[in-house]
Chain A
């Protein structure tokens, strides 16, 4: 053996150094994500990007490169343009409502009571089951012409007052919005976690200054929670843009495409009409729009998100 004790130790040292180097450790731990990203996101994304410049149909073998045709056609497609408007309307109404609601309930449930855990579970149940097909069918039934809503409504306002939710272009969106608001559980839990971390001393100080409940909420709770509001806002905005299952099962985009959400139209084109290339182009436009919206939220957040350093 030509190696001396010191040599061995040196090698061992070098190996150890290598393994403990921040770069090595970082890549060792991040490896699952990096591999997964390349394999399950990047390669399919590139493929889909290439498809968006072709006339690929789902199932067919011969694919022709057609340049920007798909993108040009998009802006002449009246249903596509309508789906953009409809999706924005959905996002703009449902997200703030859902967050307000989640925050209020989370606030309501900050009282120190043994029942609070139970209540929180109760309010979390809709989020727990909301994704299932069966619940969407139930929702559809509630807002049907003879559903629960109209049964109650007619008792109060008379038989003529029945609301034709899904038949009226102006109304059809609202049951979907309500369903999204109904599933406020996960935002509520995140708010609750944030509320728990606001130091009691802030409130005590405000009490001494003679601030009432409302003032305490707006001067202390809200600013302290603003980073969490930002987080919830972004997460919920993204998921609202992708809303699909409810629209597909409850309204199918009807009437007159008044609930034709972007993701549903992408799906219809890809699967129902087999226009894969067109659908790929559409989903890339969607990705760009969503990135822009997220970017704008981030930029404006500087104005209303308080960081600890400010206080």
Chain B
């Protein structure tokens, strides 16, 4: 009898403790989380009581450690100067950033201030236009020329964000390797034929790749530019100006470029898909490791690789993008490297805009940032930075000035439509298939065109 009672009690206790256990488990760890949360947001809530205007902004960017460190430093500067603003920041590597951003878009919870590049049309519905803030002076544009405001406007003229810096594409090359191969150094009007010829000669003379292929720049700097260089100034573009369709009608306009790329790869003058995989970032591009004579760069990357090569005793220089014909269009544009935007989900859009304005206009702030995101768009800031520029930075500034002198069409489109990533991936696959002989360059051109066209259907 006693035993049974014990058993019953035991069972009851078990059942109770089971449920209790379950609860405890969950509540314990929610506690834990809320504690975590509290420690993070504590200053915010504490001050809220004292000061009504206390504002917490959420901000995020992608980049490397240098960028993280410098940006955090300027955020702290800003917080010190504006005690009512607290900035909660997050930072990621490029791929992770966009994965994260997409989940936040899905859940209407995008950061107040966030960084975007030429792929901004993907996120249009979350971008709060800055037009009004510029009009009412919340964002100070006195020292920013209209041309530089335009680089971050959409086709309808809405201010998407404020550019973090100017940028353009170029070809970085190893001066000694050109000399060793007996190839004349690139001029401002060299052509793709000169380019391919140089690559082949460097391969023959040194055994190294003539040109490397930092793929994240190649599509925009090469394939897309190649279209803009044909016809009269501004006649063609890869996509049309309104970003509603293609900017050219004959797919075969792409074929010679694709053929050249495939030939160089086949001849070993340019890395194949396997070797390309070894290039994970600009710092271990084959040009930097001394295994190639040239590579594509977005010019804000140039000072870094210049310094690295200088340490190895090598000299790098910057050449313009080759042209289709000597007297044809340059096809290069000054564009925005990336920009800071205000999100529609933000509850503090004005404060977010104020921060963005300070980020671009404050010399003090940019002395810390050091143009790592691109050449500052504010005149005064730019002058201040140029005054203390390193050798590599000087080459970059001069180059951007040079490209600025090239005749450019009234309107250019440097934006990527939503879904361009997939087109670029397909384009690369087609080149690999031309290399392996599976398809011809003409077919690859047609397939690439069709894939791009499909974006607008």
Tell yes or no: B205 within 8 A of A by CB.
Answer: no
Tally of B interface residues using CB under 8 Å? 37
Q: How far is the CB of A28 from chain B (nearest CB, A)?
A: 6
5 A-B interface contacts by CB (under 8 A) = A16-B8, A59-B106, A255-B273, A256-B273, A274-B419
Q: Known: A144-B278, A271-B99. Contact between A255 and B11, CB under 8 A?
A: no
CA distance in complex: A28, B20 (Å): 13
Return chain B residues, CB-CB under 8 Å to A61.
Answer: 125
Tell yes or no: B35 within 8 A of A by CB.
Answer: no
> Which of A's residues lie within 8 Å of B, judged by CB?
12, 15-16, 19-20, 28, 31-32, 58-61, 79, 140, 144-145, 164-169, 172, 250-252, 254-257, 268, 271-274
Tell yes or no: B350 within 8 A of A by CB.
Answer: no
Return chain B residues, CB-CB under 8 Å to A16.
Answer: 4, 7-8, 11
Whether the Cβ atoms of B422 and A272 lie closer than 8 Å is yes
Whether the Cβ atoms of B274 and A145 lie closer than 8 Å is yes
**From B18, B277, B419, B422, residue with most partner A Cβ within 10 Å:** B277
Option from B8, B105, B421, B432 in Cβ contact (under 8 Å) with A59:
B105
Whether the Cβ atoms of A273 and B106 lie closer than 8 Å is no
Q: Known: A59-B102, A256-B432, A271-B99. Contact between A19 and B277, CB under 8 A?
A: no
Option from B18, B102, B275 in Cβ contact (under 8 Å) with A145:
B275
Whether the Cβ atoms of A59 and B123 lie closer than 8 Å is yes
Q: How far is the CB of B99 from chain A (nearest CB, A)?
A: 5
CA distance in complex: A274, B4 (Å): 62
CA distance in complex: A262, B22 (Å): 38
Return chain B residues, CB-CB under 8 Å to A273.
Answer: 419, 421-422
CA distance in complex: A97, B152 (Å): 54
Whether the Cβ atoms of A169 and B11 lie closer than 8 Å is no
Whether the Cβ atoms of A60 and B8 lie closer than 8 Å is no
- Given A16-B8, A32-B22, 9 additional A-B pairs, CB 8 A: A16-B11, A19-B11, A20-B11, A59-B106, A60-B105, A166-B274, A167-B273, A172-B274, A252-B277
Tell yes or no: B307 within 8 A of A by CB.
Answer: no
Whether the Cβ atoms of B15 and A28 lie closer than 8 Å is yes
Q: How far is the CB of B89 from chain A (nearest CB, A)?
A: 22
CA distance in complex: A83, B344 (Å): 39
Return chain A residues, CB-CB under 8 Å to B98.
Answer: 271
Q: How far is the CB of B446 from chain A (nearest CB, A)?
A: 15
CA distance in complex: A32, B22 (Å): 8
Return chain A residues, CB-CB under 8 Å to B12.
Answer: 15, 19
Return chain B residues, CB-CB under 8 Å to A166.
Answer: 273-275, 277
Tell yes or no: B272 within 8 A of A by CB.
Answer: yes
Tell yes or no: B436 within 8 A of A by CB.
Answer: yes
Q: How far is the CB of A25 from chain B (nearest CB, A)?
A: 9
Whether the Cβ atoms of A254 and B275 lie closer than 8 Å is no
Return chain B residues, CB-CB under 8 Å to A254.
Answer: 273-274, 276-277, 428, 432
Residue of B nearest to A271 (CB): B99
Tell yes or no: B429 within 8 A of A by CB.
Answer: yes
Q: How far is the CB of A33 from chain B (nearest CB, A)?
A: 12
Return chain B residues, CB-CB under 8 Å to A271.
Answer: 98-99, 102
Whether the Cβ atoms of A164 and B272 lie closer than 8 Å is yes
CA distance in complex: A252, B98 (Å): 17
Return chain A residues, CB-CB under 8 Å to B122.
Answer: 59, 274
Tell yes or no: B252 within 8 A of A by CB.
Answer: no
Option from B102, B273, B432 in Cβ contact (under 8 Å) with A58:
B102
Q: How far is the CB of B121 from chain A (nearest CB, A)?
A: 12
